Structure 1
Amino acid sequence: MTATATSNVPEFGRRVATRRLVQLLWYGRPVRARILIALVTLSAVISVLGGAATLVGIRNRIEAEFISPTALAEQYILQTTRNSAADEKLLTTLPLALAMQLRHIRHLKVSVLDAAGNSVALPRSTEEPQPSESEVPRWFAALAGNIAEHREIPLTAGERRIGTVILNSDASDELAEVWQEAQHQAVVWLAANAVMIAAFYFILGRILQPLVTVSRGMADLGKGNYHVKIDPPRVPEFDAIIGSFNGLAAALGAAREENGRLYRELITVQEDERRQIASELHDEAGPCLFGITTTAAAIEARMARGHHDEAAEISRQLAEIASIAGRLTALNRQIMKRLQPIALGKVTLGELIGDLVADFARRYRDVRFVSELSIAPRSYGDVVDLTIYRCIQEGIVNALRHGKASCVSVELSEVAPTSAAAPTALLLALRDDGQGIAAAATPGFGLAVMRERVQSLGGIWELSQNWPCGVTITASLPLSWPGPTAANRSSS
């Protein structure tokens, strides 16, 4: 059992290596690269098959080139021998004459032996120059079929043998020609394939461009840009995909606008309720607390003049009532301030933020607050002022309560438009040096409300980590926003 398991380990390793190789060479490649790899592989297979067919043709060609001159030389030798049989002088010089006449036959090496079996030597002036050593590779000669044929033709006159002609095949020159042709064809094939692959690379890029455009569009959708639209492609197969994408983007954009409208209405109603509660606290609870304080003071004054025995105890209780009423008055004032900034719409945005930061500085004396305001000395409207106010308020509360920050920085500036179509915007940057937000943590409700407030006015809200600690909240709020509906304007 152990031996079997051990023997399966190398096999498993080979399978894993094969899968990784396939993943690297195929599945890890983009579509264009896969198509090009398939095209190159198919071209290589076709080339191998074509090369095999070419080699078969070369073999047949070399065999044909050898058979034809061999038959011609044999016929010429026999005919010349018969013609010289009647003349003894011609018979004597026949081997030399044949050696000289047959030396130019293509694809053959002709050797002539005399009656004694000695090779007939040609005169020095008539010797064929030795061919240079062939540059044909051995592997190509082996594949092409280097034919080695040998044939001996006796020279006879009656019963007398006067010599022998030996014919040996010589395919070196034919192989050299074929090798040169093969080299030229290989160069042409490589050049044609390179041009074809380059052309397919650019053609596939054009054909698959809609997929790249869809990928970029999906990235834009992920960033919240629902107004993206892709032009219909010229490829029919991609037309349905692009149409579905545009429909999805339009639906998401419409849903986002509807959510923004509903959230603006919700914020308007919420702020109206806060305003009403603050008004009721101011109009109802405020006078009551003031009445309690005043009555307690009046009773204390009368008791001081009456000299009753229990005057001291009553004075102590009245002082306690006055203290409680004072604390309730301060609490009432804080609640009204949180529900609705008292100075909203009456002072500039810079003064409103300065008062908010100063209030936090009074309550948290061990925390350093820094504010840098580069905005115009005016109000930007109740909606914009209140949105900036709430973002700063919620951001500081989160930094102090959850981040345990020792320093909080508030930066607000007015950013000029980058193009003619872009509006002027307010850029808010809120930074702290607290503990930051853990990677696995989910943003709380306060941050979600802050983001929705900004996005409902067409702004951009971002949350990022500081280095080496803390959090940065950035909000860009355009000064030209869709605005509330007529009903909301009338209610507010």
Structure 2
Amino acid sequence: MGRLSLRAGLSWLVGLVLSATLLVNVAVLVLHAGPRIRTEDETMLRLTHELLATALVSLQETADPAPAMRRFYESLGALRHVDIKILANADVASLGKPTPKRRDSVGVPDWFVSLVDAPTRVSILRLGSLPTVLIRGVDDGRIAIVSNPVDELAEIWSDLSWLAFVSFAAALLFFALVLWLVHVSLAPFEDMRRALADLEAGRTNVRVALRGASEFRGISIALNSLAATLDQVKAENRGLMAELFSVQEKERREIARDLHDEAGPCLFSIRAGVVALSEAAAAPTPDLARLRRIGVEMDEASEAMQALVRGLLGRLTPRGLAEFGLAAALAELVASWRSKRPDVFCELVTPHDLSSLEEPVLSAAYRIVQEATTNVFRHSGARRALVAVEFAASDEGDGGSVLAIVVEDDGVGMPDRPGGGGRGLLGMRERAQALGGRMTVENRPSGGARICVWLPVPDVEEEIDENDHRP
């Protein structure tokens, strides 16, 4: 059996509670019906006994009690809740357990009579010395007062029927109202379900209308914020992909230009040397000076070709990163910038042994520093720059370690406009987030910009000294 929905569960719960309430009310009435009828019977028997006794005494004192006795006897049949029977002395013993008169018009079912269990009661009043004519030829009989609970049962059954009908109608009305309220209250769930399905399908600009209870409004606000964040991430990813394709095309064009402008002349020089060597070798007397000159030219062309290939490999893959480690690769990177821009003093600080870093962290750290230093030397207008890469304790409270990267300068700083810094900073942030890290960019109080990146790393064996240099 499948799990019920929230709407069906609430509907069943309300229905069961209303049904249980109705049944409890009916049971309480039925349980109190028996004592109520028995109390009523006892009261009516006592009052009727006293009335008959008083009436008979009064009739015995009259001179001609016959007419009054007839009228009194005829009026006994109009009493409710009791039946009056005049019995001879011989009939008293056969009275047994009397059965009350049943009125077909009351409509009380037998099962209800049996359930209430209200037995009849009998009270015997002796006729004494009344004239025999007054008792229809009975010389010395008794008046039997028999309780008749049928009328009281009819009243209780009528009250119970009306109560059940009214309660059932009220329960149906209340149940319908609850169903409507549940339908209206849970309507935001359907909006959220459709929104989540749209997000799963990859649609953009998905929003949920703010309606319903405050809890639903809070969830809708959070869902809208999530959808907006996903839209922003998708837009950033599209921008990154476009930038990646642009960078790839630019890199390909630069490689093609370098190959055409530098590799082409070198290869042509080598080929020309080979042709000259062939011609010199074919001469009857080889010109040694010319052969040496041709060899020097071919050696220079080969050396230029090797330098070109090393440069291309360095641009495609950091040279020596896997072989010599991050510290050596960063030292070479900083040295290359120093040679290109001697007017900018760049300091590299690596106080810890970085050889234990794994390849993803190595590559990400190098590319982040490479991009950050490119921004410093090309856009900041700085005179001094600092690059610090070291292990530090994580501030997440989990006792882990991070690789902290800080690049700062004394240049013009970051622009104040939102999203300033271009795609380079966005790519650095994406690299950090891909490894579970984070990045902050800020302007220094004394001038210039500071970029801080924290990359999670496995616990390092070397103890991190809190007094180490912190940029």
What TM-score results when the alignment is normalised by the length of structure 2? Answer: 0.47
What TM-score results when the alignment is normalised by the length of structure 1? Answer: 0.45
Q: Which has the larger radius of gyration?
A: 2
